Amino acid sequence: MPETQQVAVKRPQLHFTAKKNWINDPNGLFFDGKQYHLYFQHNPNGVGHGYMSWGHAVSTDLVNWEELPIAILHGDVADIFSGSIVVDHDNTSGFGDGTIPPVIAIYTAAAKDETNQSQAIAYSLDGGATFTKYAQNPVIDRGSKDFRDPKVSRYESAEGSYWVLVAVEAIERRVVIYRSENLIDWTELSSFGPKAAVTGIWECPDLFQLPVSGTDQLKWVLIVSLNPGGIAGGSGTQYFVGEFDGTTFTPDQDVAAVEGLDFEALSAAKWLDFGRDFYAGVSFHGLPVDQQTLIAWMSNWDYARDLPNDGWRGSMSTARTMNLVKNAEGNFEIRQQILGLPVTDVVSQSVTGAETRVELGSPALLELHLAGNVSESAKLSFYRTDESLISEIAVDSALLTHERTAGIVDHELYASTQRMPLPAGLTEITVQVLLDHGSIEILAADGLRSLTDQLTGESAPAYGVLRLAEGTNASVAVLPLDEIEAGTNA
């Protein structure tokens, strides 16, 4: 579909969109003690990918966002690709003026002629509103055309603390790890990969700690986005759990490189999301480890450039907090929970029969609970006001699928069915379904499984229908969310 074709696309209420033009990867997420800052890849000149700069928005609740002026604008010779932000409380960089800790952005300077990608920094002395590019940029230059997406954090040890940067050599499917004392001078420490899913290029790495639920243990997690080659096709995000000693990341499970697009083979990797539209997610700087929170871009490079637009194109996922759970095999898995959703009165419907209709008509959170003989299936279907099907969830004890129809999207890769294997041995299943204008986010098994799909151009479904196989015991609760303001400043 041509980029110039505009159609009426209803804005989401629960997800960030820019006032106008193109957005993709979240960048530089940080919490300043009062506000959450979301920077993002943004084209100030149109609804297509280009002239990449850093847009900026702030929120106090991770749902309602105020869009601010562009923070870092592309230049004549380089675009501003993805990166991260840290607050330099100790002024290790020397950019501070002694009154306010400098906010340091480190990003990929992508040469417009596509000959080189290097890492550059910019500093802010007004809390992240405006930035000055460092005069001696770049701070890391490997002479590579595909070296990008730096994510910086502070590493603390008994011997002292220093800055750690992870970035990718994208074509090599390799995460490179650097160290710095001052955010300017960097030394390479080690690299990781290629491992697990490698059919696509690697992008947007992040290295952080997560607590293990029910214990005082912390583990390290390395997430890596890749495109194509995701578990649902096109863009996807995998993760590794292990240990980081300040120099080297060592995974608990050494998964060999998986070539190809076979679903069963790709299932050997750990996936942050099993949907088509959850990519380039990164965590917030400035939050305690037990509040580690991530936001992703809610799209897929298979069709992102061709989606219908209404003068704006692209949205972010909800914010999700994360921790780790040890599964029956003794391996660690990420559990996600959606943050910031004020729930109104609960309307609950319990059914054991063949079919129940659930009235919706506005963004809502649904909870589907299956108990007893969960080997029998349940289907939850969503419809427009004209009674045509938007999408359908099917779930049993082993597998959840989501099938979406094309709707207004004329792209051969859009209409699709996504599969999400469920943890083994479940005797009951709870599935959360967050419906907004233009998207569906499904969390199952207490957040151990996630599936995110766009429903581009769709208003929140008018109603849903729950259909149960004979003998299935299930209940569905509808938690209306229609008091939320639109998640944008438009």
Cα–Cα nearest to 357, from 470, 455, 478, 443: 478
Cα–Cα nearest to 249, from 293, 211, 205, 289: 205
- Name the 3-class secondary structure at 89: coil
Tokens of 420: 């999400």
Tokens of 59: 């929120």
Cα(295)–Cα(318) distance, integer angstroms: 6
Cα(374)–Cα(349) distance, integer angstroms: 19
CB 311 within 8 A of CB 20: yes
Cα(77)–Cα(99) distance, integer angstroms: 34
Beta pairing partners, 190? 177
Tokens of 192: 């990781």
Which active-site residues does the annotation give?
A: 25
- Name the 3-class secondary structure at 305: helix
Q: Look-up: residue for tokens 């419907």? A: 349
CB 238 within 8 A of CB 270: yes
Tokens of 299: 């799209």
Tokens of 382: 């969503």
Q: How far is CA 141 from the centre of its chain?
A: 27
